[in-house]
Structure 1
Amino acid sequence: MLPVKFRPVPMERIWGGHKLKSTFGVTHEAPIGEYWVVSGHPNGMSVVCEGPLEGKTLNELTAAYPEAYLGTSHQSRFPLLIKFLEAEADLSVQIHPDDDYAQQYEGDFGKTEAWYILDAIEGGKVNYGHTFASREEYEKAVQNGAVKDYLRYRDIQKGDLVFVPARTLHALLAGTIVLEIQQTSDVTYRVYDWDRTDANGKPRQLHVDKAAQVLQYGAEDPVVSPVQLQEDEHVQHSRLVECQYFTIESLRARKAVSLSMGREGNPDVVIVAEGQGTLRAKVDGDNVTMSLRPGDAVLIPADVAAYQIDPNGDMTLVRTFY
């Protein structure tokens, strides 16, 4: 089967911005916070944007060709949701449930995610974790308007990877642009929203009780360290994180690089963070090429044994598989 690209799905958000609009061809004035570039979730379904499969949804591809576009996933829909996020203002402090809680109470999957930092202001930070010792302390802080006094922060800079397992309190902060790779889920519990109001002067809904049930009290925040897979003057290939839901790698290249599939029997997704180039693959004996530019996310089916990336100058890619 053929590699495919999808039309981005822009999502208006109160905290969104305008910098990425030219990348994704958005012209309307409202702030855009998220661009869903690979999604099998009904809240923002991906549709193929070019080639013989143009107009097909991702769910149609995985239903018609499951061995190629889904592989060995235990889900019937594509298990990863991939987005670009632009935070012109702070996001709410929030938390996502794990699979057990989400499937019992929300009819959806949990949400473990990771952020690849595309841009950040000097001295940039994210909220990551908290110091609540107990549910009682958390609920008291909510009542007293003191949640922000219990937040932990982590320094970030361009090229970092922040791994956010389900049940981790977190928030992207203003001046940050990230590529987010997550489980296919759209379940979020807001804990605190910086005393902000919407266009009608009303505060956004919080989910205090549900958050209390999924918060982990006294737990250590996870730390991940990149593993160098290849490094020379032309190519830097690193594994940034590996968990039960996904593996994420970064690839900085200035010459052609050949890649085998990340996991045999499953598809790859390659996302362009910076630069331009060409993807080359052999499909049913035919040579297939696809142009690559910033913001592109290419789903490479599992029956493509290997593929090649030809950069046009310096290029930064993020690859993910499961």
Structure 2
Amino acid sequence: MTQSPIFLRPIYKEKIWGGTALHDTFGYDIPSEKTGECWAISAHPKGTSTVISGEYKGKTLAELWEHHRELFGGIEGDRFPLLTKMIDANKATSIQVNPDDYYAGEKENGELGKTQCWYIIDCKDNAEIVYGHTARTKTELVTMINSGDWDGLLRKMKIRPGDFYYVPSGTIHALGEGTLVLETEQSSDISYRVYDYDRSDQKGNTRELHLGQVINVTTVPHVDGFIDESTESRKGITIKTFVQAEYFSVYRWEINGTAELSQDAPFMLCSVIEGNGILACEGRSSELKKGDHFLLPDDMPDFTIEGACTLIVSHI
């Protein structure tokens, strides 16, 4: 049977720093006005996407991974490797750092580490991210954290829509207030909080910090994640390559007209962040609209996308 795109229904997560941008921008049916994350393409045990239509309608992505590994090129592994999120940082997120595979596997019940990246969909004027730190040694890192010298420790960078940041494990990071991001990452939910602005949750409790783990996993001195961006234009499409790295490659497809495309990875994860189009393959077509998320399985024949739309695409 000819493979077709597999459209997925997301999971939503409420966060102390969340807002309504996921509804306002993409029309999602969010659970509250504090919705921080849309787990758009996920097979993680804490939230797995569900197939919306077609042959596998009603099955979760985790079930497809378990029972239909042919859709993913038969690649090995006990868990689906990637996770695509949309993040609404209505308020600044906590300052945090993620472990690598080895540390997470040893200390977090075999969980994957978390290398991730951000594509800035939208942000308010003068929005910032935290990306890295200034400490030159572990001792200096400990001293600056213990003294609360956050202005001295944290590297802040101004951002604009369309910016891309690669955030390897070990990188201290945070999204600033008024930022809407598509995040591609390893399928992991392990982050260690460095600082949280002394905020309280709904019950009045300050949120836990994880300073022991932070000291253990933070890369010192900070090293910027290497990205080697390139752009290729041809009939109907401009493809920007943001990163081709150990855990994932990430691209932006800007469709304007009719683009002829092929799926040459074990599978591809696709998110429509702007516009509309039609994906056609061997006589069948699927409507694409802003906010859609879908998977292109292995053995997907060559296809076209017609319209005016922008997609963020990733693969292992």
Shared fold (TM-score, shorter chain, > 0.5): yes
Residue of structure 2 aligned with 1:259, choices 258, 261, 278? 261
Cα shift at 1:278: 1.3
Question: What is the aligned partner in structure 1 of residue 118 from structure 2?
Answer: 115
Residue of structure 2 aligned with 1:296, choices 271, 279, 292? 292
Cα shift at 1:72: 5.1
Higher mean displacement: 250-259 or 138-147: 138-147
- Matching of residue 310 in structure 1 with residue 306 in structure 2: yes
The answer to whether the 8 Å contact 1:73/1:79 transfers is: no
CA distance in 2, matches of 1:180, 1:262: 22
CA distance in 2, matches of 1:206, 1:315: 41
The answer to whether the 8 Å contact 1:38/1:297 transfers is: yes
Unaligned runs of 5+ in 2: none
Cα shift at 1:256: 1.1
CA distance in 2, matches of 1:72, 1:165: 27
Residue of structure 2 aligned with 1:127, choices 115, 120, 130? 130
Higher mean displacement: 222-231 or 270-279: 222-231
Change (3 A) 1:15 1:135: same
Cα shift at 1:225: 3.7
Match runs of 1:234-253 below 5 Å: 234-253=236-255
Higher mean displacement: 221-230 or 12-21: 221-230
Cα shift at 1:132: 1.5
SS at match of 1:261: coil
Percent identity, please: 35
Encode CA deviations 1:261-311: one digit per residue, 9 max, x unaligned.
142xx01122101001111123xxxx3221111111110111113221111
Cα shift at 1:24: 4.6
The answer to whether the 8 Å contact 1:10/1:34 transfers is: yes
The answer to whether the 8 Å contact 1:8/1:24 transfers is: no
Question: What is the aligned partner in structure 2 of residue 279 from structure 1?
Answer: 279
1:171 is aligned with what amino acid? Answer: A
CA distance in 1, matches of 2:272, 2:139: 45
SS at match of 2:66: helix
1:87 is aligned with what amino acid? Answer: A
Regions of 4+ moved over 6 Å? none
Change (3 A) 1:259 1:17: same
Cα shift at 1:29: 3.1
SS at match of 1:255: strand
CA distance in 2, matches of 1:219, 1:99: 19
CA distance in 2, matches of 1:201, 1:164: 31
